[in-house]
Structure 1
Amino acid sequence: MRKLLSVFICFLSLFFILQADAQTTRNNGYVINGTVTGIDSGVVRMLSKDLGVRDSAVIVNGKFVFRGNIGSPERRTFMIIPGNWAFKGFVEDTAINFWIDTSDAMHQYYKTKDYPIIWQITETGSAMADVYTQYQNETGDTYGFSLLKKLKTAKKDSIAHIRNEIDSIGKLHTGNEKVWIDNYISQNPSSLAGIYIFNEYCGSLADISEVYLRSAINQFSGTAKASSYYDALINKLSTLENKQANSLAPDFTLLKRDKSKFTLSTTRGSVTMLDFWASWCVPCRKGIPHWKKMYAKFHHKGFNIVSVSDDRYWNDWIRALDKEKMPWTQVIDEFPSKGSTARVGGLYALKSIPFFILLNKEGKVIIASGDEDIMTKKIEEILQ
């Protein structure tokens, strides 16, 4: 009996030591040990949500270390300098390992400057990363990335076959993601990884049903429901509601080209079309002659257009205005931070432009669509 008691006391002591050690690890925050293939020296920057620099680590002989505290686990964007190599990794307050291979990067160019993106890294130590890796493996993401990597070095006679395989995966991809996510959420409603993946999935869709989003949101509980990802989904739901017929369009104030302020509610009393566009958007620019004809035909009947530009640079917008000479109200959207989406466009969760929202005389939504023909037909139906 005394021997059993002694063993129990030893076990209990060991338990408390391990618990104390685990608590110390949590209190100490995260330690990220990274290895980069292809880069011996430089700096890795951990970016904040607005793409500002949150922390930096020096690369020495292809290795780097981050230490800090993050609280709630998050997937962060990292940038390797020099070279602007971007990748993402999960950060949570524990010991984590990153392995980054620059040969896996997809090179993207903007104004002749290369911005390579490393879509996949190997990560261990993060529970969220483990679930995300499972998700990528089981929905075809990992295989798809391997095909893209293969395509970069493929011989001419095998390129067509690889591209066909990529296209086949792409056709099934969104459906596979939805099935996987729906199953995972139903079994793990409090999972932080689950709500992160669902949030990312919603962000990748050109359009999402308000009914489906509301149904998914109602499943989350516990840690997932207390997360910032849940708040983001609630916000997305409200923006979808802003596009629903009979919803009162949220009021906004933006600047016109002469720097004077324009407020949407001043258009009450007329049928108004919000036209979301940008100087860099080719389909938007091609549609302008059509809207000039519609404006000329129906303006005398109380039809107005308010074009909201998604341009980040004022001069680009002004040059386009000078060239297009649109006779209706022109305003430019605002970007609260470097990495954020446009403020007014964000009220409607816009994924692409051109996009049109037709409002009645009370400022309520009649119809919202990215289809010029659908919008034209509705305007003619109302004002003909």
Structure 2
Amino acid sequence: MKYNSIKSGLFMGGVVLLLSSSCKQPAADSFSIKGSVKGLDSGVVILQQFDEEEMTKKVLDSIPFKNGAFELNGKAMNPEMMSIVVRPGNWQTNVFVENSEISISADTTGAEHYDYTAYGGDKGAVLKEVLITGSGNHDAYQTFEKDPQQLKFKEGFAALNKAYELEKKPELKEKMKLKFDSLGKLNNAWQSKWINTYLQQQPGSVAGAYILASYYQMNSDMPLSEIEALLSKVKGEAEKSIYYRRILKSVNSRKAVMVGKDAPDFELLKRDSSSFKLSSLKGKYVMLDFWASWCKPCREGIPHWKKVYQQYQPKGFEIVSITNDSRRADWTRALDQEKMPWIQVADEFPVKNRTARVISQYEAPFLPFYILLDKAGKIIVRSGDEKDIDQKLKELL
């Protein structure tokens, strides 16, 4: 089960835009966004920015939406993917904003409605019938999104999703997951090749950096050598983008916790609210187990770790399970059910809706994820496969 703060295909950054709704004719260093939405008459149109790090939405400009049309004017410090939202109804689409004359023609027909109010989110609709012209970066992004091979993969996933929803037998649903994995690997291979070719031809394209960032967000466990090879192709304006800088930040964070590095110390609370510090286990082999109550493969692996713990704990081995549950009741219920005999602590969420502190510090890309430390506190294994931990423990103990 993959873990990530956001699992949409959109990776929107936080570069500041300077806006002026009173400016009617854009100069070379400003933008104009003229749009119309068939099926809507009036309301308010919003230019919205998504801050990936803070997991927040920021309204950059808001103007009246009259007779089904609007016009936004301003200045973009850097090209950036933004959202256009029409309220009431939260009808939205995304557009790569850059300093040019941009035109948007949309239709509410066929819009994809969503409702996340039960999770504290919004209710609205994503516009599907949209034509955007005038933004070179948006054109480049659409070249990727509408590539015939990309469309085939989307159709394949849609068909699998439909079949999965209709299937009633649990054992058959489990088998279908293998088809998702297989198609996902083929899709990733194609996307990686496409991005590599595109960056070689257009190294300064901010859209290229955006597409790379989107890909990396969904494949944050890819080998460092691969992502660094792709990053090395990004040049010029794209290298100044928030998308490039965010990938680079993640790569540097991953390097800090790779095999051979000292494990960063941390302090978290146990179930009884007493404090646990990782450094207190120096002198033992320690496995950090990143998990959550809602993670099915995490729960399925617990019987195996009970056997491992029973075998190696007397020889100087300890496990520290770090839950990614944001609701304490879910965590404590799982502890009562699973009765794991090793150390249990809860990760912290300093900022609402953002990833937890320690799992982010250790760059654990998904759940379950395991990190094995030697007696000196150095990282000797990083893996999502329990077999890698088993093999190393067999060598050591």
**Structure 1 length as normaliser, TM-score?**
0.75
Asked whether the equivalents of residues 31 and 66 of structure 1 are also in contact (C-alpha less than 8 Å), the reply is yes
Q: Which has the higher helix share?
A: 1
Instruction: Work out the CA distance in 1 between the residues paired with 2:340 and 2:239.
Output: 46
What is residue 105 of structure 1 aligned with on the other side?
Answer: 112
RMSD: 3.8
What is residue 50 of structure 2 aligned with on the other side?
Answer: 48
Asked whether the equivalents of residues 44 and 81 of structure 1 are also in contact (C-alpha less than 8 Å), the reply is yes
Percent of matched pairs sharing the same residue: 38
What is residue 9 of structure 1 aligned with on the other side?
Answer: none
Aligned amino acid, residue 33 of structure 1: K
Asked whether the equivalents of residues 242 and 347 of structure 1 are also in contact (C-alpha less than 8 Å), the reply is no
- Which piece of structure 1 moves more, 293-302 or 195-204? 293-302
Q: 1:169 to 1:300 in 2, by over 3 A?
A: closer
Instruction: Work out the CA distance in 1 between the residues paired with 2:364 and 2:26.
Output: 44
Aligned amino acid, residue 258 of structure 2: Q
Q: 1:379 to 1:170 in 2, by over 3 A?
A: closer
Q: 1:252 to 1:75 in 2, by over 3 A?
A: farther
Structure number with greater Rg is 1
Asked whether the equivalents of residues 243 and 367 of structure 1 are also in contact (C-alpha less than 8 Å), the reply is no
Residue from 358, 367, 377 that aligns with 2:372: 358
Asked whether the equivalents of residues 321 and 343 of structure 2 are also in contact (C-alpha less than 8 Å), the reply is yes
What is residue 265 of structure 1 aligned with on the other side?
Answer: 279
Mapping 1:203-222, distance limit 5 Å = 203-205=217-219, 207-222=221-236
Instruction: Work out the CA distance in 2 between the residues paired with 1:139 and 1:347.
Output: 39
Mapping 1:300-311, distance limit 5 Å = 300-311=314-325
What is residue 314 of structure 1 aligned with on the other side?
Answer: 328
Cα offset, 1:229, TM superposition? 2.1
Cα offset, 1:269, TM superposition? 1.5
What is residue 192 of structure 2 aligned with on the other side?
Answer: 178
Mapping 1:40-189, distance limit 5 Å = 46-49=48-51, 50-55=55-60, 56=62, 59-60=65-66, 62-77=68-83, 87-102=93-108, 103-105=110-112, 121-138=130-147, 140-142=149-151, 144-145=153-154, 172-189=186-203
Aligned amino acid, residue 312 of structure 2: F
The answer as to 2:383 corresponding to 1:369 is: yes
What is residue 165 of structure 2 aligned with on the other side?
Answer: none
Q: Where do 5+ consecutive residues of structure 2 fail to align?
A: 1-22, 163-175
Aligned amino acid, residue 141 of structure 1: Q
Deviations 1:309-367 (A, max 9, x none): 22223333233333333332222223344453333222343332111111111111111
Instruction: Work out the CA distance in 1 between the residues paired with 2:354 and 2:154.
Output: 27
- Which piece of structure 1 moves more, 329-338 or 55-64? 55-64
Mapping 1:200-239, distance limit 5 Å = 200-205=214-219, 207-239=221-253
Residue from 262, 266, 270 that aligns with 1:248: 262
Aligned amino acid, residue 238 of structure 2: A
Cα offset, 1:34, TM superposition? 3.7
Q: 1:169 to 1:34 in 2, by over 3 A?
A: farther
Q: Which has the higher contact order (CA 8 A, sep 6+)?
A: 2
Q: 1:105 to 1:227 in 2, by over 3 A?
A: same
Cα offset, 1:224, TM superposition? 2.1
Q: Where do 5+ consecutive residues of structure 1 fail to align?
A: 1-20, 154-162
Asked whether the equivalents of residues 31 and 95 of structure 1 are also in contact (C-alpha less than 8 Å), the reply is yes
Runs of 4+ residues over 6 Å off in structure 1:
112-115, 146-153, 166-169
Q: 1:294 to 1:147 in 2, by over 3 A?
A: closer
Instruction: Work out the CA distance in 2 between the residues paired with 1:303 and 1:237.
Output: 30
Cα offset, 1:228, TM superposition? 2.2
Instruction: Work out the CA distance in 1 between the residues paired with 2:128 and 2:316.
Output: 50
